[in-house]
Amino acid sequence: MDNRIVEFIRGLRAAGVRVSLAESVDAMNAIETLGIVNKDVFRSSLRATLVKESDDFAAFEELFPLYF
């Protein structure tokens, strides 16, 4: 799953979303803590840790189902 999250982060960056290394680590830590069993919690934890600008929500919502 870690590789898939890294690919997703690359996809976000390619779409113009600014995701720092620190935010990437935060996302991995959140997933480690919260798990992936509940897809809504998984999605929300990635969105909360990776997206900081409201303008980037659309890119996240478009890409999330392509990766997960």
pTM of the model: 0.91
pLDDT for residue 1 is more than 90: no
Q: What is the pLDDT at residue 25?
A: 96
Instruction: Calculate mean pLDDT across residues 32-49.
Output: 95
AA letter at 10: R
Cα–Cα distance for residue pair 53/67, rounded to 1 Å: 21
Rg (CA), the chain: 11
Distances (CA, A) of 29 to 41, 46, 50, 58, 62: 14, 10, 12, 24, 23
Instruction: Calculate mean pLDDT across residues 7-33.
Output: 97
* Residue pair 28/12 in contact by the 8 Å Cβ criterion: no
Residues contacting 6, CB < 8 A, separation 6+: 24
